[in-house]
Amino acid sequence: MGNKLSSKHDPTILTPKAIEVLKAHTNFTEEQIREWHAGFLRECQHGLLPKDQFVSAYEHFYPDGN
């Protein structure tokens, strides 16, 4: 009973599968992906980005909206 793996995904873990998916769909190398992930975790230790931080980042990258 108590040894079942949780069905919830831990957002702080960067799995090999996730790295492969990101490499296949972006121009980033594994090293770059790991660096971005580490930076994200420095800002969001629990692996979750609060809505206000998302909006702020979105406005920074897309100042004209959509």
Tell me the domain boundaries of the chain. Answer: 16-61
Question: What pLDDT is recorded for position 27?
Answer: 95
Q: In sequence order, which residues have a C-beta less than 8 Å from that of residue 22 and are 6 or more positions away?
A: 28, 33
Question: For the chain, what's the residue count?
Answer: 66
**Going residue by residue through the chain (66 aa), what tens digit of pLDDT does each one get?**
444 555 467 888 999 999 999 999 999 999 999 999 999 999 888 888 899 989 998 999 898 876
- Determine the pLDDT at residue 1: 44
The one-letter amino acid code at 8 reads K
66/58 Cα distance (integer angstroms): 9
Question: Which of these, 56, 38, 55, lies nearest to 47 by C-alpha position?
Answer: 38
Determine the pLDDT at residue 47. 86
Residue with tokens 């090999």: 16
